[in-house]
Amino acid sequence: MIIRDSLYIDGAWVSPSGSDTLDVIDSTTEEVFATIPAGTSADIDRAVQAASRAFPGWAATPAKDRGAFIQKMAEGLQARAGEIADVISHEVGMPRSFTETFQVGLPMGEFADNAARAASYNWQEEIGNSLVIKEPVGVVGAITPWNFPLYQIALKVAPALAAGCTVVLKPSEVAPINAFILAEIIHEVGLPKGVFNLVTGLGPVVGEAIAAHPLVDKVSFTGSTRAGKRVMEICAQSIKRVSLEMGGKSANIILEDADLAAAVPAGVFGCYLNSGQVCSAPTRMLVPRSKLAEVEQLAATAAAGFAPGDPFAATTGIGPLVSAVQRDKVRDYIKKGVQEGATLVAGGAEAPEGLEKGFFIQPTVFSNVSNDMTIAREEIFGPVLSIIPFDTEEEAIEIANDTDYGLSGGVWAGTQEHAIEVAQRLRTGQVDVNGGGFNPLAPFGGYKKSGIGRERGAFGFEEFLEVKAIQR
- What is the domain extent for residue 36? 2-246+450-471
Same domain, 94 and 169: yes
Q: What is the pLDDT of residue 458?
A: 96
Q: How confident is the model at residue 208 (pLDDT cuts 50, 70, 90)?
A: very high
**Inter-axis angle of helices 149-163 and 177-188, nearest 10:** 30
Residue 443 located in a structural domain: no
Cβ 179 vs Cβ 151: under 8 Å: no
Closest CA to 381 of 402, 405, 358, 399: 405
pLDDT per residue over 315-372, tens digit each? Answer: 999 999 999 999 999 999 999 999 999 999 999 999 999 998 999 999 999 999 999 9
Give bridge partners of residue 134 from the DSSP assignment: 467
Residue 195's CATH number = 3.40.605.10
Indicate the pTM of the whole model: 0.96
Same domain, 104 and 10: yes
Distance from the Cα of residue 299 to its chain's centroid: 26
Same domain, 74 and 199: yes
Q: Is the dihedral of CA 219, 224, 230, 232 positive or negative?
A: positive
Q: What is the pLDDT of residue 180?
A: 98
Residue 444 located in a structural domain: no
- Annotated active-site residue 296? The verdict is no
Dist CA 196 CA 167 (whole Å): 5
Nearby residues of 424 by Cβ (< 8 Å), 6 or more positions away: none
Residue 359 located in a structural domain: yes
Q: What is the pLDDT of residue 462?
A: 97
Residue 226 located in a structural domain: yes
Same domain, 138 and 266: no
Same domain, 178 and 300: no
- Residue 371, phi then psi, degrees to nearest 5: -70, -5
Phi-psi domain of 94 (left: phi exceeds 0; alpha: psi -120 through 50; beta: other): beta
Q: What is the pLDDT of residue 449?
A: 96
Q: Is the dihedral of CA 162, 116, 153, 449 positive or negative?
A: positive
Q: What is the pLDDT of residue 430?
A: 97
Dist CA 125 CA 270 (whole Å): 41
- Please give the mean pLDDT across all residues of the chain: 97
Same domain, 345 and 391: yes
Phi-psi domain of 239 (left: phi exceeds 0; alpha: psi -120 through 50; beta: other): left
Q: What is the pLDDT of residue 296?
A: 98
Q: What is the pLDDT of residue 134?
A: 97
pLDDT per residue over 373-404, tens digit each? Answer: 999 999 999 999 999 999 999 999 999 999 99
Cβ 40 vs Cβ 206: under 8 Å: yes
Same domain, 201 and 256: no
Same domain, 238 and 313: no
Same domain, 313 and 242: no
- Annotated active-site residue 279? The verdict is yes
Q: How confident is the model at residue 425 (pLDDT cuts 50, 70, 90)?
A: very high
Same domain, 213 and 234: yes
Residue 323 located in a structural domain: yes
Mean pLDDT of 233-246: 96
Q: What is the pLDDT of residue 440?
A: 94
Cβ 99 vs Cβ 151: under 8 Å: no
Same domain, 224 and 131: yes
Report, in angstroms and rounded to the nearest whole number, the Rg of the chain calculated over CA atoms: 22
What is the bridge-based pairing of β-strands 465-471 and 251-254? unpaired
Residue 398 located in a structural domain: yes
Nearby residues of 398 by Cβ (< 8 Å), 6 or more positions away: none
Residue 408's CATH number = 3.40.309.10
Share of the chain above pLDDT 90, in %: 99
Q: How confident is the model at residue 441 (pLDDT cuts 50, 70, 90)?
A: very high
Distance from the Cα of residue 47 to its chain's centroid: 24
Cβ 100 vs Cβ 82: under 8 Å: yes
- Residue of 91, 173, 245, 296 with catalytic role: 245
Burial of 124 (0-12, 13-18, 19+ CB in 10 A): exposed
Same domain, 219 and 348: no
pLDDT per residue over 32-88, tens digit each? Answer: 999 999 999 999 999 999 999 999 999 999 999 999 999 999 999 999 999 999 999
pLDDT per residue over 79-135, tens digit each? Answer: 999 999 999 999 999 999 999 999 999 999 999 999 999 999 999 999 999 999 999
Q: What is the pLDDT of residue 13?
A: 98
Q: How confident is the model at residue 20 (pLDDT cuts 50, 70, 90)?
A: very high
Residue 311 located in a structural domain: yes
Residue 445 located in a structural domain: no
Dist CA 198 CA 181 (whole Å): 11
User: Dihedral, CA atoms, 3, 91, 409, 405, nearest 10 degrees?
Assistant: -60
Q: How confident is the model at residue 136 (pLDDT cuts 50, 70, 90)?
A: very high
Give bridge partners of residue 139 from the DSSP assignment: 166
Dist CA 88 CA 91 (whole Å): 5
Q: What is the pLDDT of residue 80?
A: 97
Q: How confident is the model at residue 256 (pLDDT cuts 50, 70, 90)?
A: very high
At 389, the amino acid letter reads P
Mean pLDDT of 412-416: 97
Domain count, the chain: 2
Q: Label each residue of the chain as H, E or C.
A: CEECCCEEECCEEECCCCCCEEEEECCCCCCEEEEEECCCHHHHHHHHHHHHHHHHHHHHCCHHHHHHHHHHHHHHHHHCHHHHHHHHHHHHCCCHHHHHHHHHHHHHHHHHHHHHHHHHCCCEEEECCEEEEEEECCEEEEECCCCCHHHHHHHHHHHHHHHCCEEEEECCCCCCHHHHHHHHHHHHCCCCCCCEEECCCCHHHHHHHHHHCCCCCEEEEECCHHHHHHHHHHHHCCCCEEEEECCCCCEEEECCCCCHHHHHHHHHHHHHHHHHCCCCCCCEEEEEHHHHHHHHHHHHHHHHCCCECCCCCCCCCECCCCCHHHHHHHHHHHHHHHHCCCEEEECCCCCCCCCCCCCCCCCEEEECCCCCCHHHHCCCCCCEEEEEEECCHHHHHHHHHCCCCCCCEEEECCCHHHHHHHHCCCCCCCCEECCCCCCCCCCECCCHHHEECCECHHHHHHCCEEEEEEEC
Q: What is the pLDDT of residue 227?
A: 95
- Residue of 91, 208, 279, 455 with catalytic role: 279
Q: What is the pLDDT of residue 467?
A: 98
Q: What is the pLDDT of residue 14?
A: 98
Closest CA to 291 of 367, 375, 373, 385: 367
Dist CA 51 CA 56 (whole Å): 10
Burial of 140 (0-12, 13-18, 19+ CB in 10 A): buried
